[in-house]
Structure 1
Amino acid sequence: MGFLESLITNRIILSVILAFVITGIIKVIFDFIANEKLNLKIFFSTGGMPSS
């Protein structure tokens, strides 16, 4: 099994990536509701959620 294949099938890494994507989407949605403007830069920005 190659390095890339083991990276893709690693459940821990996949769960971290999935959590990052889900929280980024939630941040964009909350920011859109609050400001009525779509700001995709907030997807990659840090903070913006109560636990961060």
Structure 2
Amino acid sequence: MIVVEELLDIMQMEEIPFVDRFGMLVNIEHSNRKGNSLKHLIRNAGIRAARCVYWKY
């Protein structure tokens, strides 16, 4: 897991309590799973291309 390795490599992380670091990992994992779920729902909805509307003021 790249994210875990990056967190462990940061020297400043030693100053952060373990519980807080663990909470960060849980938040990252939750965000990744939620993102994957949304991608799955969009893919199953049959949308071929993401559409974007740009409003110029």
Residues of 2 paired with 1:29 and 1:5: CA distance? Answer: 37
Residues of 2 paired with 1:13 and 1:6: CA distance? Answer: 14
Counting aligned pairs with the same residue, the percent is 14
Q: CA deviation at 1:13?
A: 0.3
- Partner AA of 1:27 in structure 2: L
TM-score between both structures, scaled by the size of structure 2: 0.49
TM-score between both structures, scaled by the size of structure 1: 0.53
Unmatched tracts of structure 2, length 5 or more: 1-10, 51-57
Aligned length, in residue pairs: 38
Indicate the residue corresponding to 2:43 in structure 1: 32
Structure 1 residue ranges, 4+ long, deviating more than 2 angstroms after superposition: 4-7, 36-39
Indicate the residue corresponding to 1:3 in structure 2: 12
Q: CA deviation at 1:28?
A: 0.1
Unmatched tracts of structure 1, length 5 or more: 40-52
Indicate the residue corresponding to 2:4 in structure 1: none
Residues of 1 paired with 2:33 and 2:49: CA distance? Answer: 17
Indicate the residue corresponding to 1:45 in structure 2: none
Larger Rg: 2
